[in-house]
C-alpha cells in the first residue's frame, strides 16, 4: 500500500512535475487497485489518474469520506 499526495505549493514544482507524474503512473500500474477518498474533491490531476486507471483496466475503489473508508475496512 502506498499513499500519494501531490502538493502544488512546493517551490519550482514545475521543474519536477513530469518526473513526479511518471512515477505516480508507474505506481498506479503496479497497484492491485487505486483507492480514492473524498470523491467529491476530484481535481484535474486526480481526474487524469482515474481516466488512466480506466484506460489500463485498473480497479478503482471510491469512498465518500475517511469515516466510510474506516467502516469498510473494519468490516473486512
Mean pLDDT over each residue of the chain, to the nearest integer: 81
**Model confidence pLDDT, tens digit, residues 5-21:** 555 566 776 777 788 88
Q: For residues 35 and 30, what is the distance between their CA atoms, to the nearest angstrom?
A: 13
Give the mean model confidence (pLDDT) for residues 22-36.
90
Q: How far is CA 32 from CA 1, 17, 29, 53, 61, in A?
A: 9, 24, 8, 11, 11
- Whole-model pTM: value is 0.68
Amino acid at each position: 500500500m502506498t499513499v500519494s499526495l501531490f502538493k502544488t505549493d512546493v517551490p519550482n514544482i514545475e521543474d519536477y512535475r513530469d518526473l513526479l507524474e511518471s512515477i505516480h503512473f508507474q505506481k498506479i500500474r503496479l497497484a492491485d487497485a487505486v483507492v480514492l477518498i473524498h470523491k467529491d474533491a476530484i481535481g484535474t490531476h486526480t481526474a487524469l489518474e482515474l481516466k488512466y486507471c480506466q484506460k489500463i483496466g485498473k480497479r478503482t475503489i471510491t469512498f465518500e469520506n475517511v469515516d466510510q473508508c474506516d467502516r469498510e475496512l473494519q468490516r473486512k
